Amino acid sequence: MMQLRLFIIFLFIFTQAALAQTKQYTKYAQEAEAEGDYYSAAYYYQKIYDKDSSDAALTFSLANSYFNFKAYKKAYSLFEKVVASPRKDEFPLALYHMAMINKYQGNYELSAQQFLKFTKQSKEKSTFAYQSAVQELKTSKFIPRIISDTLNFTVFNLAGINSSDAEFGAVLYNDSTLYYSALRKNKDKEYRAKIYTAIGQGGWWNGDAEVKKMNDELLNSADGTFNASKSKFIFSRCSKLKSCKLVEVYLTDTGWSKAVYLPNEINGGDSSVTHPFLMKSGNKEILLFSSNRAGGKGGMDIWFSEINNGKYSAPKNLGAKINTPGNEITPFYNEKDTSLYFSSDWHPGIGGQDVFRSKGDLKALGEPVNVGVPLNSSRNDQGFSIDTSSNGFLSSTRLGTLSDDPDVVCCSDIYRFEKPKVKKIALPLDTIPFRMEEDFISVSLVCTFTTMSQIHEHVIP
């Protein structure tokens, strides 16, 4: 009898300790989720799941954490388990996330089937997920055309800069100097985004020279833009919670000045302000940026502010033609072809963030068109920019990044894209009377872009 009592007491103590530990792990996981640290959230949820995998709510929370830090393989199998459980109706987003994962992986037919099933099962038609699924079903009809209209560009991983961590936000300072952002471990082995420079020579870039005046050991610094004279540089400063504000530095006789935050007209409020781009419109300097500030159309929208004598006007939203219920980020305006380039996860794309082009000035922008393959992939493609040679850079998590992992889509690399040299064809003398043989014909490259309602052709000179 005594042994039985001791066993019951031991079992009670053990059970209470296990419950206390589970409660503590749940607390840690939820705190990590609130901070956007889904890697840590998954770690703690997994600890609980390893002891009891029968709870559908826990399974969904674990799957959702894996999904948000792009561990799609693990997330998908867990979402499948939720969808197959008797409690599946409590977690309708499981099927939605499965559809999105299939799109990221290029499984477009299965993705469309799952989006359709999700819309039919949805009881709430006003939710973002339902609206997104409806949009994805419309987009699915255009994906074959977007993919088939392959552009004659070469896209390659930028040698000497990229690593298994994240690199992004490339912008040329001059022909041989590149400024870019990268995620690296600091002395405390914590990851921080910082701004670096690289020197290019013969197709190779020697990178990771930190621009110390632009960086902060406690905050993340990234995504910069130069003014026309390259005397000013505006970039993002972000906290661990991913709340970003814009700062600026000026070039002095002794190097870059101390970073100063932009005024409240730009940075005010609790919203995040990031992805700046400086452009000229006539005699005016204009700052484009992305933000989730009040008055937008959805998540992150693209806004602009005019700069007069160092003063910023109240930002204006670029409007519903550009901004959507989704996220529009990394604006870039190319004066040469008078077009705005930006990335969106809502306009018709082939997965993740795609790059789009809208022709016109900021007050009269045309319908956005997908710039196509190979500039876009089934994963995130953003930070598009064009240099003076009409070639350019973008950041992407596409297959082939140096962080490629069969289980986790981790980190972006910087890619260079170049269009081939214009072919010049020497025609026989007898086809062009009174012309010398050294006269040539330049052959332009015609690219076809797809929108929701029509096909556009754009001639690249």
Residue where the block lists tokens 């995040």:
272
| pLDDT top residue among 136 and 402 | 136
* Rounded Cα distance, 153 and 371, in Å: 11
Q: What percent of the chain has pLDDT over 70?
A: 86
Q: How far apart are CA 339 and CA 371, in angstroms?
A: 12
Give per-residue pLDDT as tens, 28-82. 999 999 888 899 999 999 999 999 999 999 999 999 999 998 999 999 999 999 9
Angle 196-197-203 from CA coordinates, rounded to 5°: 130
Where do the domains of the chain lie, and which CATH numbers do they carry?
Answer: 21-141 (1.25.40.10), 154-419 (2.115.10.20)
Q: Report the alpha-carbon distance of residue 13 to residue 233 in Å, rounded.
A: 61
pLDDT at 445 over 60: no
Over the stretch 347-398, which tens digit does the pLDDT of each residue have?
999 999 999 999 999 989 999 999 999 999 999 999 999 987 779 999 999 9
Confidence label for 5 from pLDDT (cuts 50, 70 and 90):
low
Q: Read off the tokens for 345.
A: 């996860």
pLDDT of 3 > 60? The answer is no
Closest by CA position to 158, among listed 391, 370, 355: 391
- Is residue 447 predicted with pLDDT exceeding 50? no
- Residue 167: count other Cβ atoms within 10 Å of its Cβ: 29
Enter the tokens of residue 298: 């959805």
Q: What is the CA radius of gyration of the chain?
A: 25
Tokens linked to 78: 């867990």
pTM here is: 0.86
Predicted confidence at residue 344, as pLDDT, reads 98
How confident is the model at residue 407, as a pLDDT? Answer: 77
Lowest average pLDDT, out of 183-192, 286-295, 326-335, 378-387, goes to 183-192
- Supply the pLDDT for residue 454: 40
| pLDDT at 82 (0 to 100) | 98
Residue 190, pLDDT > 70, answer yes
Is the pLDDT confidence value at 164 over 60?
A: yes
Q: What percent of the chain has pLDDT over 90?
A: 71
> How many angstroms separate the CA atoms of 139 and 133, rounded?
10
